[in-house]
A and B are shown apart, each in its own frame.
Chain A
Amino acid sequence: MRNAYTSWTKLSSTHPVLKWSQTILFWLPTGIIFTKHGFTVRVVTGNSMQPTLNPDPSQPRDIVLFDRFSIESLRQYERGDIVALKSPHEHGKLLIKRIVALPGDTVRTLPPYPDKEVTLPNGYAWLEGDSSFESEDSNHFGPVPLALIDSRLVWIVWPWGRHGPLGTGKIGRRYSRSVEAAELERAARLRERV
């Protein structure tokens, strides 16, 4: 055993690649915990959040910074935030939606939902995609438990042209004036339905 250890240290000291991989493996737990409970960067596919995410169908892969810390530890849920939630129907799939209403609110629903108005019970939220025609959201499956929400989307990292913060009122400099106005109008429409 000791012999194997000494020969391994001798080998790894002569090969820099081995040494580096050993160091990376050693520090891996800290990295995993940081991405699991802190911040991580992931690719967003699908068109349910157009025009906020993936507005150009020819480049359907935005890279976004996900913030797990504010959801998991601080439990900050705000209307208008874009969040990733674990799909209520499929195990291991993440959906990206916008929080429209929080517990206690009454929402006017959109067509596929059977009732005209819904009052959210304790611990449930109403989530919708920005393009209501293409997104499967609370109008299809009803209110979602807050516990299913996994992380908050805080920053578009790539493509560089739309690089900037995401979320309530943070439209940023990446849009022209008219797009910004449309975005504000949409946010106001969402607010008045609650």
Chain B
Amino acid sequence: MHMLSSFGRRLRRLPINAFTAIRQNPKSVALGGLYTINFACACHLFLEYVATVQIVYGPSMLPTMSEAGELVVENRMRYRIDPRNLKRGDLVTLESPIEPGRFICKRVLGLPGDTICVDPTGLKAPSTEHVFIPKGHCWLVGDNAALARDSRDYGPVPMSLIRVIPFPQLQDFSDLSVVFELVRLLSHETHMHYLVR
């Protein structure tokens, strides 16, 4: 009985809302807020520098990524540690060169020093047009050449825009991952034909 009544008294003493809490103990509430902000900052740093999960959507990367959206685990360390880790055929996410603040996912086709055929199909440029990729730039294409807006439209892209190389082995969590892997390899093969050296 005594315990119950003391519990009730304690309950009555508990702050009912945030305002009473601040009035009763302003210092500890403020400190708690600062701790929360600090913790959020630490989480943000981890997501920014180590690894993060993001949803990639849109038609430009079919069939590697579904149009409705696909979860991608991004390895944020690999590119930051050494930009030379970037290989032809890697997937990258980067800030769009034509729309600042928007992030896009593309595949690397050419690195600095390569000479690339702009569009072998002749849709967006004459199929005989070739481009030399200057220092610090790379040539990016979407896997779905018909619908992607990529280097064929805006030319070589500065490598400083690249943020991340996603983990290739963790791109899809579906049961059909083997099939997807095969399709991706095939599409990768067709893209490699574009490369003229």
A binds B: yes
- Interchain CB contact under 8 A, B136 and A147: no
Q: Which of A141-177 contact B (CB under 8 A)?
A: 145-149
In the assembly, what is the distance between CA of A171 and CA of B161, in Å?
32
In the assembly, what is the distance between CA of A87 and CA of B160, in Å?
7
Q: A88-B136, A89-B136, A123-B96 are in contact. Are A145 and B161 (CB under 8 A)?
A: yes
- Interchain CB contact under 8 A, B83 and A147: no
Contacts of A146 in B (CB 8 A): 100
From B37, B98, B135, give the contact of A145 (CB < 8 A). Answer: B98
Number of residues on chain A facing chain B (CB within 8 A):
24
Stretch at the interface among A3-11, A23-31, A106-114, A184-192: A23-31
Q: Is A43 an interface residue (CB 8 A)?
A: no
Q: Is B45 an interface residue (CB 8 A)?
A: yes
- Interchain CB contact under 8 A, A145 and B101: no
Q: A88-B136, A88-B160, A91-B160 are in contact. Are A29 and B42 (CB under 8 A)?
A: yes
Residue of B with least CB distance to A103 = B98
Q: Is B159 an interface residue (CB 8 A)?
A: yes
From B44, B83, B158, B160, give the contact of A33 (CB < 8 A). Answer: B44
- Interchain CB contact under 8 A, B38 and A27: yes
Interface range, B side: 20 to 34
Contacts of A75 in B (CB 8 A): 100-101
Contacts of A181 in B (CB 8 A): none
Q: Is A61 an interface residue (CB 8 A)?
A: no
B179 to chain A: closest CB distance in Å?
35
In the assembly, what is the distance between CA of A75 and CA of B100, in Å?
8
Q: A87-B136, A90-B136 are in contact. Are A147 and B38 (CB under 8 A)?
A: no
In the assembly, what is the distance between CA of A43 and CA of B154, in Å?
34
Q: Is A131 an interface residue (CB 8 A)?
A: no
- Interchain CB contact under 8 A, A30 and B96: no
14 A-B residue pairs with Cβ-Cβ distance under 8 Å, sorted by A, are A27-B38, A30-B41, A33-B41, A33-B44, A75-B100, A75-B101, A86-B160, A88-B136, A91-B136, A92-B160, A121-B98, A121-B154, A145-B98, A145-B157
Q: Which residues of A are in contact with B by a Cβ distance under 8 Å? A: 26-27, 29-30, 32-33, 36, 75, 86-92, 121-124, 145-149
Q: Which residues of B are in contact with A by a Cβ distance under 8 Å? A: 34, 37-39, 41-42, 44-45, 48, 83, 95-101, 134-137, 154, 157-161
